[in-house]
Amino acid sequence: MTSPDLQAYLAKYYPDTDNKILTKELGITETKLRKLASRYGIKKSDGYKRELHKKLMQAKEEKYLENLLDVEPNPYELNIIVGSLIGDGSLAFAPRSRQAYYREHFAPSQRDYRVWKAGQLERLGFKIIRDNHLRSPSLPVLTRLYHMFYINNRKCLTPENIKLLTHPVGLACLFMDDGSLVINYSRKKDGFYIFPRLTFYTFAFTAEENELLRRHLEKTFGLTLRLKPFPYGHGYGLDSGRQDTIQKLITLIEPYAKMIPSKAKRLDIPQRLLAKDTELRRRFGVKCQNTIADFT
């Protein structure tokens, strides 16, 4: 093909034809083809560029979906995630990602608990990363949970998402994230009355959301709590001094807390009551008659 014929051919076909087709027709390399088009001042058309960009985006999307973990949590795993979302966990979207991921920052003293949590969710790709973070890959199930738990970018409790908390392991994660059992005492005429008190520091939620959580915990797990004002967050948490509720909570979550040394000792209420009794006797004298709550 003479130079004028080649130039005419390229002017007609190069702007809108794939280079692989042209190199096959002309019997030249793709590098040679581009050099010839540049010499003759011939460029790809805007329509061809748009179509090429579209194909590249489709290929990228297919590769992304191919590499995406196709896993669904079982009820046990889902409850760990849900209990943690009500507690310290959060969901977010990475840049340019259409699927949400789970993240949770923790203090070094809480590492054994987060290592346990990552181990329970290992099948879903959860792992501990640098700077004391628990993180998951981006997953479709987490995107669904994001749309259930986040309204105007704020984590919320609703009648729909609270129903997902059904298993004691989810309750255990909520307690180990945002709960506490403290040993309180009140002074009596003949000594002291020592008793445990249960608190959920769910300040991130409004009074209405905490009330929704309170009713759900009572209906699902048999825990009797009360809405209590606190000077933090939205101003409310949940609280109970009822021994039957505290004993019920311990019975439900102890199998999971026992796997985590830093958490297990917090549930040893008899030992903690005795320690408080010893402390009060030392502070106020052995003549004080301390009454330890009947917690067995």
DSSP 103-122: EEE--GGGHHHHHHHHHHTG
Tell me the DSSP string of 1-48.
--HHHHHHHHHHHGGGS-HHHHHHHHT--HHHHHHHHHHTT----HHH
Q: Taking Cα atoms as reference points, which of 221, 170, 175 lies closest to residue 200?
A: 175
pLDDT digit string, tens, across residues 102-153: 999 999 989 999 999 999 999 999 999 987 999 999 999 999 999 999 999 9
Distance in angstroms (rounded) separating the CA atoms of residues 202 and 252: 20
Taking the model in full, what pTM does it have?
A: 0.75
* Cα first-last separation, the chain: 99
Higher pLDDT residue, 171 or 264?
171
- Mean pLDDT, residues 216-225: 98
Residue 154 phi/psi, 5-degree rounding, is -115, 135
| Distance in angstroms (rounded) separating the CA atoms of residues 249 and 243 | 10
Right CATH for 173-292 from 1.10.260.40, 3.10.28.10, 1.20.120.80, 3.40.250.10: 3.10.28.10
pLDDT at 288: 45
Domain ranges of the chain: 3-67, 75-156, 173-292
